[in-house]
Each structure stands twice: as C-alpha cells, then as structure tokens.
Amino acid sequence: MIKFTILLRKRADLSHEEFVQYHKTQHAPLFMSLPEVQQYVRRYVQGHTQPLDLPGLPAPAYDGTTELWFDSAEDIAKVFTAPRYMEIIRPDEAKFLDLHGCGFLVLAENPVFEGVAH
C-alpha cells in the first residue's frame, strides 16, 4: 500500500477555523463524490494542526494534512490527473488552500509500533 500525504497550507485570508471547517464539510464530501476517488482511494484521513506551543520546537509549517492510501503509485495518478478532478476538485482547492505553499510526500509505510489504547 502507498500513502500519499499532502501538507496543507491555508489561504492567508482564512482563519484556521474557517480552513478546518471548509476542509471537513465542503471539500471532503466533494472529493469523495468522484468515481475515481471511490475506485482508487483505500483510506482518507484529514489532520489539522492544534494550537500547541511546544518548548524548543518551531511553530507548525503547515495547517494540516490530507492522507490518502492507494494500492499503487499508478493509482495516485489515476485520481489526480482525472478530468473530473481537474474540473471540479482543483478549483475547489483554490477556495481554501495556498496551493503553491502546499507540499506532498509519496510514502511506503514502515510500521514500527502500534500501541494498545488505554
């Protein structure tokens, strides 16, 4: 399984709360509505930064993440180059993201520890 992690930077004119709300309630359902997403995405998780001041660490460089799991790297391209993605999702991303400030990682995971919930 391949994990595609998108490092999200919000548009400067949005508050963190506006960014999170839009990502959760508008963008996620729209993204999930695409047949290509339903066919190729195996798991989808959003993460949003929390207001923590950790001593010795810089402020977060990103406002959140999108994590998507696929069976193969080729399946990532099948979603992100699909005409419907380019026509519907890409314009929606511009409504809440600083697209040039985002980054991404294509990862092969190496699970080291999975603890038991307490």
pLDDT of residue 34: 97
For the chain, domain boundaries:
2-51+61-108
pLDDT digits (tens, 9 = 90+) for 23-50: 999 999 999 999 999 999 999 999 999 9
> Could you tell me the mean pLDDT of each successive run of 10 residues in the chain, 118 residues long?
97 97 98 97 96 85 96 96 97 97 94 83
Q: How many CB atoms lie within 10 A of CB 69?
A: 18
pLDDT of residue 111: 85
Comparing CA positions, the residue from 29, 30, 10, 12 lying closest to residue 20 is 10
Which whole-number Å values give the CA distances from 34 to 4, 28, 94, 112, in the listed order? 17, 11, 18, 33
pLDDT of residue 58: 87
pLDDT of residue 78: 97
pLDDT of residue 25: 98
CATH number for the domain whose boundaries are 2-51+61-108: 3.30.70.100
Q: Which residue has the tokens 């950790």?
A: 54
pLDDT of residue 101: 96
